[in-house]
Amino acid sequence: MATLEIKGLRKTFGGVVALAGVDVTIQSDEILGVIGPNGSGKTTLFNTVCGVYRPTSGTIHWNGVDIAGKPAYLIGRLGLGRTFQQAMSFPALTVRENVQIAIEHGSRREDGAGPRWSSAEELLEFVGLEAFAGEVTSVMPFGNLRRLGVAVALGGRPAQLLLDEPAAGLNEGESVQLVHLLRRAHELGVGICIIDHHVGLMAELCARLVVLHFGNKIADGPVDEVLNDPKVIEVYLGGEE
């Protein structure tokens, strides 16, 4: 089981404090949700963990290895995969080529990495995109593009997957399919950590929730407990006058 241990993580942009000393431990055998209002620091947390930003202070350990401030590609190689807030792909390439690139680089991983895919077709079948293998992704419908984002991330053989609002822009049916897909990925041994605004989806998918507010962690625990936490209710619904 892989562990991502974040301690006292602080990230500032000039005078703006995006993360004000966050402590979170994420195990790859759980499905963890990160929620919080806009600007609470959720995406900054992912970006700092994944090497897009260098932390101002604090430590990030992945399986005991200090990854704080390491380049994004090295962190990716260590088995920490991610998706992005915007649906991302390699637009001029076909769906097959998109996942092939991920598989080719994922196959070089060391021990402790996630499931190994024998071919692009196997992975496309797993995510339900086999019918679109030859399509160029720039013309794909948005729902499929979101699903492809997960496929590309899984192709990199992550032991832990950080998903940044993978359900944003999806309709209800597509969201249900996404939940189903992420559950199946988790059954293969991939740890799931997901950011989303859709509290219903998070409650259905996650066993544990972390709530961020203005860069601070204000709650961390089982879903029911967190959603009934007065501090969380105040953040989401506003305090009493």
Partner 1 sequence: MSLGYAGLMGFGAYTAAILSRDFGLNMWEAMPISALVAALAAGLFGLPSLRISGHHFAITTYVMCELLRIALANGGKFTGAASGLDLPPIGTVLGVKLDKLSNTYMLVAAFMFISMLAAYCIANSGYGRTLRSIRENEQLARSLGVNTNLHKVGAFMLSGLFAGVGGDLQAYNFRHISPDLYGGATSLYFALMVMLGGPRTIFGPLAGAIIVTFLPEVMRIDPVDSRIAYGLALIAVVMLLPGGVITAVGRGYQRVARTLRGRDAVDGSPDPGASWT
Interface residue list for partner 1 (CB under 8 A): 50, 52, 71-74, 76-77, 81-82, 84, 88-93, 97, 100-102, 104-106, 108-109, 152-153, 155-156
From the CB of 14, what's the least distance to partner 1, in Å? 21
Structure tokens at 237: 């619904």
Structure tokens at 55: 């932390």
Contact between 160 and 112 under an 8 Å Cβ cutoff? The reply is no
Q: What pairs with residue 191 in β-bridges?
A: 160
From the CB of 188, what's the least distance to partner 1, in Å? 18
CB atoms near residue 161 (< 10 Å) = 26
CB burial string 202-212: b at 16+ within 10 A, e below = beebbebbbbb
SS3 135: coil
From the CB of 204, what's the least distance to partner 1, in Å? 27
Query: 153 or 205: whose CB is closer to partner 1?
Result: 153
From the CB of 238, what's the least distance to partner 1, in Å? 36
Query: 100 or 175: whose CB is closer to partner 1?
Result: 100
- Angle between the 95-106 and 120-127 helix axes, to the nearest 10 degrees? 110
Query: 164 or 196: whose CB is closer to partner 1?
Result: 164
Query: 158 or 201: whose CB is closer to partner 1?
Result: 158
Query: 21 or 112: whose CB is closer to partner 1?
Result: 112
Tally helices (H) and strands (E) across the chain. 9, 10
From the CB of 26, what's the least distance to partner 1, in Å? 17
